[in-house]
Amino acid sequence: MFKLFRILLVALLLTVVSTLHAQLIPQPTNVQWGQGGYTLTAKTTISCDNASLRPAAAYLAKLLATPTGYAFRQKKGKGSIRLMLTNKGISGSYQLQSDMRGITIKGADYRGVVNGIATLRQLLPVQIESREAVKRVWTVPAVNITDTPKFAWRGMELDCSRHFFTRDEVMELLDVLALYKINKFHWHLTDDQGWRIEIKKYPLLTQYGAWRTYNNQDTVCINRAQKEDNPALMPAAKNVRGDGKYGGFYTQDDIRAIVSYARDRGIDVIPEIDMPGHSLAAIANYKRLSCFEQTGWGKLFTTPLCPGKDHMLDFCKDVWREVFSLFPGEYVHIGGDEVDQKNWKTCPDCQRRIKEQHLKNEHELQAWFLHEMEKFINANGRKMIGWDEIIEGGLSATSTVMWWRNWNPSAPKQAADHGNSVILTPNTEFYLDYDGDAAGMQKIYGYNMRPNGVTEANSHLVLGVQGNLWTEWVPTRERMFFQSFPRMLAVAELGWNGTGKDWDGFNRRVVAHYPRLQQLGVTYRIPPLTGFHRVNVFTDEAQVKVDCQDPSAVIRYTTDGSIPQASSQRYTAPLRVTSTTDFAFRLFGTDGRKDNTVHFRYQKEDYAPAVSADNVNPGLQVVWHEYDGSGCADIEKAPINGTYTVDKVEIPKEVSGNIGLVITGYIDVPEDGIYTFALLSDDGSWLKVDGQMVVDNDGDHSPQEVVGQHAMRKGLHPIELRYFDHNGGQLSLRVSGAGQVSYRH
């Protein structure tokens, strides 16, 4: 009997540790589970074999002390938890061993030790993240882990210029990033909408440049907060000062505290001071930084700095000197993106500079400015990063390229062929301000870390990957976490392991981490509801079946056009519909917070009859209009630039700049059925079939896919698709149903 009991106990322990293994993010390189484990007690001590590890020991002690209620004394010699340096192997790699005698973490360097601490956190129950004492047993299972990161750069960017996040909010984010071994924090500190870093030589930058009256981004957030019943979209009242101006900035003491806080957690902070574009907050407060006295917004971007003025160069260097004193890390980021060079063409100072430096054009003038700044940056012991626009006009030998423009796919190859390092952050996959559905996280997880054209021989120049959070529509801490998580878990996994081979397994681990994120107070985006489209068509009756991967989420709905509230009907089982019905579904978290509302329709239709058409040819007809508007309805009123024929729904390669497309023809369906249309666009689009709106994806927005359905008889059905964009753009249509469709015109 005892032998049988022991076998059952061992089997139970193996089940428990296997479950724990499934919960580790990023997944370790090698794990060997044992039996039993080490239990933390009031007598548990922490030791380190090198004085450089004392900050890590203090960090670990503080992590454990609050939830356990124990005071973890640091001691010389051999503690219960031992932190050790091996000075061998790849930076960030570590070994963690736990048994009934204690826990040992050996790191190749300091960062390796804190990575081991991150794994230790995840091995403990989720309550270890509690901000108050929890009475329970704290056991770390017996395990031997050997773990090595694939990429050195696993980053997140936070834009604090559009909306300001306090010192405590930034530190809170750093705590969560450290849990998932994110080791780079790219801090966007200056832009047109706000200057957030104190520069003592130029006090007006924060006295005036850090504050503004509400702009159009703020009012959009306010209107959305009211319309969507979402307080997380309301600009934070704490960031409004006495005179009603909105904003904020970091003192140099704040900066030092945040940099130190990050360093203890193994995170490098990379400041971005954006130039020569995105500099209106500086130009508006100090004279002679721009080409002309009149400044402001152009059609798309603002007035840039003037590379022809030596005074402007001196200003930039003065700013960077103070930045260097605050950020001791290896890298700084200069921006270099989205520069409107129109003023440079007529500025006598810029034209003189072009002539004196024997430059060909304004692109080379921007490159000259960036090279001058890079020489200064390098002379101060730092390396320069810039967005992939820094390739244009000539790339220096030492700068690092941060690739963000999906519509410039050759950038990684150009940089690597030139011998420059590359950080991958293409906007379609890695811009966290874009709508974050489940498909978006899967694109991150499965992303190919060797872009087209990057050979095996120069693949070492790909430093890693980064998620970027731009905050035009992210005004609060709650919205910041909502946009960033759980997608940052996929960034962490990809950067650590280099490839996503098991999406289903990863997704299960993410679901297991929701309670931990809840414990941390992370207002993550609850996994979106699945099982429906924007428009769902039926011919007789249908069942509304929705699901959510987060088992703790509560689903509520309405059918009267109102936004669901905590008192609305709760969804617990499929709903039968026999007539056209509009639904509003909403998820509610365990903390009481209300997630986004999803609106969709179940539409009853008869099969639309096919039409007859003579002399049809393969493909669709595309008319390109010179359109600078922000809606599909008026595209045909703009002048025509050209007419093209395409085999499928796409942007013709000849089309660029102001894009307004009207695509017409017929869709040929092989048999009667209900067909599903998934229309992806950046910016707006719509699709009409048989004169009926099937997909409405209109308006200014980031890449977004909207899905609708239509019931059709076999044969030809007229379609009209409209699309607009002004900077790059994406457009595609997927059709599924009873068979393979084709296009005619």
| Integer Rg of the chain from CA | 28
Coil, strand or helix: which one is 188? strand
Q: Quickly state the pLDDT bin for 6 (edges 50, 70, 90).
A: very low
Strand partners, 665: 719
Average pLDDT, stretch 496-514?
93
Confidence of residue 57 (pLDDT cuts 50, 70, 90): very high
Query: In this model, does residue 327 exceed pLDDT 80?
Result: yes
278 is catalytic: yes
Could you give the 3-state DSSP secondary structure of residue 635?
Answer: helix
CB 178 within 8 A of CB 171: no
Q: Return contacts of 692-700, CB within 8 angstroms, 24+ apart.
A: 692/608, 694/535, 695/534, 695/535, 696/534, 698/631, 698/632, 699/630, 699/631, 700/630
Strands 268-275, 211-212: pairing kind: unpaired
Pick the CATH number of 620-744 from 2.40.50.100, 3.40.50.720, 1.20.1050.10, 2.60.120.1560: 2.60.120.1560
Q: Could you tell me how far CA 621 lies from the centroid of its own chain?
A: 36
Mapped onto helix, strand or coil, the DSSP state of residue 63 is helix
Closest residue by Cα to residue 285 from 373, 345, 365, 207: 207
> Using 50, 70 and 90 to split pLDDT, how confident is the model at 726?
confident
- Separation of alpha carbons 213 and 202, rounded Å: 21
**Apex CA 173: angle with CA 24 and CA 199, to 5°?**
145
Query: From CA 29, how far away is CA 148, in angstroms rounded?
Result: 6
DSSP annotation of 541 = -
Where does 153-519 sit in CATH, by number? 3.20.20.80
Q: Token pair of 610, please?
A: 């096919």
DSSP annotation string for 99-116: ETTEEEEEESSHHHHHHH
Q: Looking at residues 26-50, what average pLDDT do you find? A: 96
The token pair at 620 is: 């669709």
**Nearest of 569, 574, 576, 571 to residue 545 by alpha carbon:** 574
The confidence score (pLDDT) of residue 260 equals 98
- The pLDDT of residue 727 is above 80: no
pLDDT digits (tens, 9 = 90+) for 118-131: 999 999 999 999 99
Tell me what pLDDT residue 296 has: 77
Q: Is the pLDDT of residue 322 over 80?
A: yes
Query: What are the distances in angstroms from CA 577 to CA 543, 604, 606?
Result: 6, 9, 16
Distance of CA 149 to the CA centre of its chain: 21
Over residues 170-186, the mean pLDDT reads: 98
- 13 has pLDDT over 70: no
From the candidates 278, 710, 717, 726, give the one annotated as an active-site residue. 278
pLDDT in tens, 565-597: 999 999 999 999 999 999 999 999 988 889 989
pLDDT band at 437 (very low <50, low <70, confident <90, very high): low
Query: What are φ and ψ of residue 216, in 5° steps?
Result: -65, -30
Say if residue 1's pLDDT is above 60: no
Q: What residues contact 537, with CB distance under 8 A and at least 6 apart?
A: 603, 604, 605, 674, 709, 710, 711
Return d(Cα 681, Cα 701) in angstroms, integer.
Answer: 8
Give the separation between CA 489 and CA 441, rounded to whole angstroms: 9
Quote the CA–CA distance of 683 and 661 in Å, as a whole number.
12
Record the pTM.
0.89
Is 424 exposed, middle or buried, given 0-12, 13-18 or 19+ CB atoms closer than 10 A?
Answer: buried
- Sheet architecture: strand order including 30-39: 30-39, 139-147, 94-99, 102-107, 81-85, 45-48, 73-74
Taking phi over 0 as left and psi of -120 to 50 as alpha, with beta for the rest, 606 belongs to: beta
d(CA 363, CA 277): 13
Confidence at 300, pLDDT banded by 50, 70, 90: low
Report pLDDT for 21.
Answer: 46
Judged against a pLDDT cut of 70, whether residue 17 lies above it is answered with: no
pLDDT tens digits, 400-429: 999 999 989 999 999 999 999 999 999 989
pLDDT digits (tens, 9 = 90+) for 180-232: 999 999 999 999 999 999 999 999 999 999 999 999 999 999 999 999 999 99
pLDDT of 685 > 60? The answer is yes
pLDDT by residue (tens digit) across 610-650?
999 988 999 999 999 999 999 999 999 999 999 999 999 99
Question: 2-147 belongs to which homologous superfamily?
Answer: Chitobiase/beta-hexosaminidase domain 2-like (3.30.379.10)
* pLDDT confidence bin for 8, thresholds 50/70/90: very low
- Alpha-carbon gap, residue 619 to 581, rounded angstroms: 35
pLDDT of residue 293: 86
- Categorize the per-residue pLDDT at 297 as very low, low, confident or very high, splitting at 50, 70 and 90: confident
338 is a catalytic site residue: yes
Q: Which residue among 99, 228, 318, 338 is the active-site one?
A: 338
Domain locations in the chain?
2-147, 153-519, 535-604, 620-744
Which pLDDT tens digit goes with each residue over 550-566? Answer: 999 999 999 999 999 99
Look over the chain and give the mean of its residue pLDDT values, rounded to a whole number.
94
Residue among 343, 200, 327, 203 at smallest CA distance from 273: 327
Specify the 3-state DSSP secondary structure of 671: coil
Q: Which residues contact 40 (CB under 8 A, 6 or more apart)?
A: 64, 68, 70, 138, 139, 140
**Given 191, 493, 595, 705, the catalytic residue:** 191
Whether 233 shows a pLDDT value over 50: the answer reads yes
Residue type, 96: L
